[in-house]
Amino acid sequence: MLLDLYSTLLTRIEDRSVDYVAPIVIRPIRADDEEKLGAFFRGLSERSRHCRFHAVMNELPADVLARFVRPDGYDQVALVAVMRRPGGERVIGESRYVVIDNQARKAEFAIAVADVAQGLGLGKRLLRGLMRRAVENQVAVLFGDVLPENQPMLALAREFGFKQRRDPHEPRLFLVEKSLEAARLAV
How far, in Å, are 16, 83, 102, 165 from residue 19 at the CA level?
10, 11, 40, 36
pLDDT digits (tens, 9 = 90+) for 138-177: 999 999 999 999 999 999 999 999 999 998 888 899 999 9
Task: Kindly state the percentage of the chain with pLDDT values over 70.
Answer: 85
Q: What is the pTM of this model?
A: 0.84
